Structure 1
Amino acid sequence: MTTLAELVETIHGWYPPATAESWDAVGLVHGDPDVKVRKVLLAVDPTEEVAREAAEWGADLLLTHHPLFLKPVHGFAATTPKGRTLATLVKTGCALLTAHTNADQAATGVSESLALALGLGDLTPIIGLPGEPLDKIVVFAPADAAAPVRAAIADAGAGAMGDYDHCTFSSEGQGRFRPLDGADPTIGEVGEIAVVDEHRIEAVLPRRLRTKVVRAMLANHPYEEPAYDVIELADPGTSSVGTGRIGTIEPTTLADFAQLVAETLPETAHGVRVAGDPERPVTRVAVCGGAGDFLLDEMARSDVDVYLTSDLRHHRAAEFVESGGPALIDVAHWAAESTWLPVVAARLAEELGDTVEPRVSEVRTDPWTFRI
C-alpha cells in the first residue's frame, strides 16, 4: 500500500510547492507521513460538510485546492468552522493536503483542466513560467569506465529531457597526461606520459542538481583527478506551463461558446455572465481558473477573442470592455476550479493503480445557493 509520505511526494511532483505564490499556504496541513493511504477524497474547498463526507466515506486523505488556513492562526479550536473542519478530520484519522497556486500553473493543473474541459487545443500559458536554469556537464573517462560514469550522472538527474532520461552524448578520442611524484595513477606510470582511449561524455542537467551530479561522477570515476567541465547554458526562456491557458476551438460565435461553457461547467446560481457581441466570431480563447482579473491588462494586449475567468469586478470589467479588447465570460469560481478534480482523480488512479481509490467530492462548496 501507499504511505501518506509517498502520496504527498507524488502530488508534489505534479504540483511543486516551490511554484506556489509567496503568500500561499500549500502542502500537508495534517497527517502522519507513515500512515497507509487507501482512500483519497478530492474537493475544491475544505469545508465542514466536505470533512464530514470524508469521515463518513472513511477517507485517509482529503486533497483540496483551497487552503484551510491561508493566514497564520494561533489555534484551531472546534468553536469555529475551520476548527470543526480540522477536528473532524483529526478525529477520523484523515489527513489534509492542499495544492493551490502550485496547481494553478502546472500541467494538468486548474487552468489547463478548465481549458481541456471546454475542448480547447494547442494550449500555451498566458504568462509562461521562466524555464529552469540548465548546465551541461562534460567529463572524460577511459573507454572501459564510460558506461558506469554515464549511469552515475544519469541516476543523479543529468540527461532528463521531457519524457526521456539517460540522455547523453559520447565521442571517442585520446587523453594524455603524466603522473607526477606523489600520484597514484589508475592508468600509466609516474613520470611517463600516458595515452589513453577515452570517451567524452556530455549531458544536460538542471542547475539545482549540479552538486549532486558532480559528486556522483567523482564517486564513480576511476581517475584520481578526472577532467571535467560544468558549463552554464543560455537562458532557456519560458516553459510550457504558467498562468492561465490560451487555446483554439472550432470557429463559433460568442453566444454559442457561452452556451458550451454553460453546458460543460456545473450549474450554479452565478450562471454564465457574458460581455460582448453575441455574434462575435470566436476561435482563440483564454481561460484562467479562479479569480483572474489580474490578467485583464495582459488580455487587452492579446489577440484572443474571449477571456473566461471568475470574480470579475464591475469597474475593471467595464473599463476592459470599453477598451475594445476580447469579450469576457465570468463564471462561478467553484465551477471553474471543479474541472480539475476529476483530472487529479484519474491521474492518481493511473499512477497508483488499485492501491489507492480516489473519489471526487459530491459536496457543492460554491457559497451562492440560489438566485432570484
Structure 2
Amino acid sequence: MDATLADVVEVLDGLYDPAWAESWDAVGLVTGDPGQPVRRILFAVDPMRVVVDEAIGGGFDLLVTHHPLLLRGVNSVAATTPKGRVIHDLIRGGVALQVCHTNADNANPGVSDALAAALGLKDTRPLKALPSEPMDKVVVYVPVAETQAMIDALAAAGAGRIGEYDRAAWRSTGEGTFRPLEGADPAIGEVGTVERVVEDRVEMVLPRHRRRAVVEALKAAHSYEEPAFDIFELAALAGNRGGGRIGVLAEALPLKRFAELVGERLPRTEHGVRVSGDPDRLIEAVAVVGGAGDSEFERVRAAGVDAYVTADLRHHPATEARAYDEGPALVDVAHWASEWPWLKDAERLVTDALATRGFTVETQVSTICTDAWTLHL
C-alpha cells in the first residue's frame, strides 16, 4: 500500500518531534502536498543543488535532509537565487522536502547516537540532557470495590505508563469519612448522617499534557458525586534526549589509533581528521557531537572524558580548551561526515515504522559528499 506524504511526515514527527527543535531552527515540511503519494524517499545531509538533482533525476517523491534549506526568513523564493531555483525545481519535479535538524540532534536515537555507534561507543548517555517529559501524579480515593475499574479508566486516559509498562498503580487501604449536606445526592449514605467507607488510595503517574483527560476520566468513573483527588506536579529530571553523547570504547586506544579509527569509520572528506593532543594518550571515555560542537567545551570538560569528537572546531575555542591540562584530546572531523551516519538510522527507523502501518517504500541514502571543502593541499 502506498503511503501519502502526510503518513511519512507523521512518522518523521514521531521520531523527530518538531517540539524538540531549538527555537531558532526551521524544521518540518518545506515543499510538498500532504496528499501526494510517496513511494521513494532519499535521505541526505544537505538540500544542495547536486542532491536535489539526484532526488529529481532518481524519481524520488520525498527528500529528507538534516540541514534546512530556508533557515532564515525570506521574502521571496523567486528563481533568481540558488535557493529559489531549488524550491521551483522541487515543486516542478513533484519532490517534497522535509527537514529534521535540531529535532533530530535532540532525539534518542538521534544524530549523535549514530555518530557514537559508528565509533563503537558503548553505554552512551546525553552530553546535554534535556528535561524529561513533564509528569504529574494523580491520587484518588475510591471505594475498594471500584478500585480496579478506576485504575482501568485512568490507564485508558493516559495514566500509569512507566517505561515499557502500563496500568502501573499504587494502592493502600484506609477509612474515608464524610457527611452529606442538604442538597447532596450521595451514592453512599444519607443526608445529615456521618458515613464511614473503606476506601483505597490509588496513585498513578501521567504525562502533564494528559492531565485534563485523566481528571475527566476519574470523575466519569467515580461513583461519588464529589470525588476526592489530588494532582501533584513531579520534579523535572534529566531525560534520555538531548544534544551530544558520552560513551566508552570497548578497550582503551592510544589517541593516534583512535583518530585513525575515526577516519576509518566515517566517510572520507578532503577535510580529513584533525587531532589535538598527545598521540600516545590512552582514550577510553569519549564525548561526541554531530555537527559544530565548540560551544559544548564546558560540558565536555566537566564530563571528564578523554577525547571529544566533533566538527567545525575554531582556533580560539580549541586552544582555550586545550589549555586545561586535564582537558580532553580533540578530534575534529568534517561537519558533513559527522552527521552522515544518522541517515542510515533515519532510513531504517522510517522504513520500519511505515511497514508496521502497512506501507511499503523504497529508500536510499545519498552518498554525494556535500562538505564545503573540496581540496586539501
Give the TM-score of the pair, scaled to structure 1. 0.92
Query: How far did 1:124 drift?
Result: 1.7
- CA deviations 1:311-337 (Å, max 9, x no partner) are 111222223223332111110000010
Determine the structure 2 residue equivalent to 1:370. 375
Asked if the contact 1:348/1:358 (under 8 Å) is kept, the reply is: no
SS at match of 2:46: coil
Deviation at 1:102, TM superposition (A): 1.5
SS in 1 for 2:215: helix
Aligned to 1:149: 150
Report the number of matched residues: 371
Structure 1 SS opposite 2:372: coil
Whether the 8 Å contact between 2:8 and 2:354 is mirrored in structure 1 is no
Unaligned regions of 5+ residues in structure 2, if any?
A: none
Structure 2 residue 67 is the aligned partner of structure 1 residue 66: yes
1:348 aligns with 2:350: yes
User: 1:208: how far off?
Assistant: 3.2
Deviation readout 1:71-105 (Å, 9 max, x if unpaired):
00012122222122222222233322211111112
1:322 aligns with 2:327: no
- Report the TM-score, using the length of structure 2 for normalisation: 0.91
State the secondary structure of the residue aligned to 1:152.
Answer: helix
The farther-off stretch of 293-302 and 266-275 is 293-302
CA distance in 1, matches of 2:27, 2:18: 7
Q: Is the 8 A contact 2:11 2:354 kept in 1?
A: no
Q: Distance in 2 between matches of 1:279 and 1:351?
A: 44
**CA displacement, residues 279-311 of structure 1 (integer Å, 9 cap, x when unaligned):** 111111111110001012333344211111101
Q: Secondary structure at the match of 2:247?
A: strand
Q: 2-side partners of 1:361 and 1:223: how far apart?
A: 61
**Matched residues, percent identical?**
52
Q: Quick one: which amino acid aligns to residue 10 of structure 1?
A: V
Aligned match of 2:362: 357
Kindly report the root-mean-square deviation, in angstroms, between the aligned alpha carbons of the 2 structures: 2.2
Q: Please identify, of 283-292 and 238-247, the stretch whose mean Cα deviation from structure 2 is larger.
A: 238-247
Q: Residues 329-365 of structure 1: CA distance to partner in whole angstroms, max 9, x if unpaired? A: 1100000100101011111222222533332123222
Tell me the amino acid that sits aligned with residue 266 of structure 1: P
For 1:177, the aligned partner's letter is F
2:138 maps to 1:140 = no
Residue 270 of structure 1 deviates from its aligned partner by: 0.4
Displacement of 1:143 in angstroms is 4.0
Distance 2:196 2:35 in 1: 54
Query: Kindly tell me: are residues 278 and 61 of structure 1, through their superposed partners in 2, closer, same or farther at Cα, counting changes over 3 Å?
Result: same
Mapped partners of 1:22, 1:36: distance in 2: 31
State how far apart, in whole Å, the 2-side matches of 1:197 and 1:78 are: 75
Partner SS, residue 239 of structure 2: strand
- Range 101-110 or range 251-260, more displaced: 101-110
Match of 1:246 in 2: 246
Structure 1 residue 195: Cα displacement: 4.4
Deviation larger for 162-171 or 283-292: 162-171
More displaced 10-residue stretch of structure 1: 274-283 or 217-226: 217-226
